[in-house]
Copies of this chain bind each other. A is one copy, B any other.
Amino acid sequence: MSRRPQAVELPPLGGFDRTQGHLSRQLTQSLREAIRAGSLKPGDLLPSSRQLASSLGIARGTVLEAYEQLIAEGFLDSQARAGTRVASALSRSQPPGGSDSQRQAANTAPASLPASAAAFAKVAEQFKAHPPIPFAVSVPVGPTAPDETWRRLGNRIRAKGPGAPSGYDDPQGVGTLRAAVAEYVRRSRSVRCRAEQVIITTGTQQGLYLACQVLLGATDKVWVEDPAYWGITKILESTGHPERMVRVPVDEEGIDVRAGIALAKDARAAFVTPSHQYPLGMVMSMGRRDALGMWAQKNKAWIIEDDYDSELRYAGYPFPSLQGFAPDQVVYLGTFSKILFPSLRLGYAIVPDALVPAFCGARLLMDRHTPTADQHVLSAFINEGHLDRHIRRIRSVYADRRSELIGMLNRWIPQDLGWLQPSDQGMHLVLWLAHGMDDTLLASHAMEAGVVVRAVSPMYSEGRGRPGLLLGLGGFSNAQIEAAVRRLAGLIKMMGKTGHKPAHG
């Protein structure tokens, strides 16, 4: 081992930090970097472990350990008496050096992407989460946040028993939560179901996604309300078969079933919001429910009922679900994300028995299952009566904020420029804008001014859009609401005057 005149001069190996310990690991890393960077080349002979140890002032065992690791990794070769060399299998020129930030600046995209990737990227750009300021939807601040009960219950449930850390679980969701949900929707929504039909989801969005996955073949047509929630239209647009989405107009009775039949009688499914049309807020009439059910039955089509906020009805009781009338044809979607808090990400799909295995399998491939601890916490929260109390409490808070907001909008926004869509339910209001106003532009200016609104016209199909703004009811204070309304009113008036882009500020 001592006669090895050809051993390379090692490049500087980077400073060792003796306070960090793991010297052999540090050495391994340095040698690996040197090989990667090309300062050590395939075939290069390394100094003996003894030489290197002495020159670095470290123990020989440390060097031997590093060499062994690099041999195991394939960076080095060791042949009995021939010493240790950089592996000649490393013939490929190493990846270009350059720091990570240089690489980032170049923004290299060496491989190619399918068209759908661009569509996904656009979705990410368009639907950023809003900051918790007026008029973001469902912001659990102040009185709309769950009270101490939720936290204390969580601490208890997570400590031991089934809510404590555990292994993989049922893709369908935790059994006790499914039972609690079944009982809750039977009681409050006249949904006809058993716990075996409930599938716990990571929010309604996952329910919509699963329904598309399971129910639709690649070219099946599907009815979607016009206007509709972006969460469903963007899924269908991203599939590579956007032509399969048939937009069906809504009027004051909800989705126009006759128009749907005229457009695509043979559609495989219809996505609807019968309790509270999104975003406009009307209830689907009994006649339309009837017609929709008949069409679905006759054409062996599915109805996906998105019942996203029926807990918040301010007059009368919530409408009974469509599912209760046609339990074999309806996939019913609900969520606790809005009524409790969005960051919880807990919702549910209630599906006919025949669909349960397919939903579970699709779910398994997508992410196996929803995290379990909060499923157990929520199940206790429902069973111990806290959910009902929480809903009663926030219903009165939202009712209060809502009438405040309506009052202030009526006061500050000129009637000819903006007026409210009637509705008596939910966590948002729609403010229509005068013909010709650009709601998207207005929304982006409002955001710059610290006010969150969503433009309504992009929720319509191409060419049918009317300008409007969707204003969410958070748990904001009256002072916050008033300040935001006044700023918004200023922007609207400015746009009303100029007919286009308002000046900044």
Which residues of A does B touch, CB under 8 Å?
Answer: 25, 28-29, 32, 36, 68-69, 72-75, 87, 89-92, 94-95, 100-101, 103-104, 107-125, 127-130, 132, 136, 138-140, 145-146, 150-151, 154-155, 158-159, 164-171, 190, 192-194, 196, 201-203, 205-206, 209, 213-218, 220, 231, 234-235, 238, 240, 268-269, 283, 285-287, 289-291, 293-294, 296-297, 300-302, 316-317, 319-320, 324-329, 340-346, 352-355, 357-362, 364-374, 474
Contacts and interface: CB of A to CB of B under 8 A. Distances in A.
A139 B68 CA distance: 33
Contact of A169 (B123, B325, B340, B343): B343
Contacts of A74: 285-287, 289
Nearest to A93: B294
Contacts of A220: 114
Contacts of A108: 328, 352, 354
Contacts of A302: 111
Contacts of A170: 128-129
A326 B72 CA distance: 20
A91 B293 CA distance: 12
A171 B234 CA distance: 15
Given A73-B286, A294-B92, A344-B371, A165 B139 contact: no
Nearest to A36: B325
A115 B219 CA distance: 12
A29 B166 CA distance: 42
Nearest to A110: B328
A201 to B, nearest CB: 7
Contacts of A123: 361-362, 364-365
B146 A165 contact: yes
Nearest to A424: B72
A198 to B, nearest CB: 13
A293 B107 CA distance: 19
Contacts of A92: 290-291, 293-294
Interface centre among A215, A283, A297, A316 (most CB of B within 10 A): A316
A358 B297 contact: no
Given A286-B74, A343-B166, A354-B108, A124 B361 contact: yes
Nearest to A375: B343
Contacts of A145: 164-165
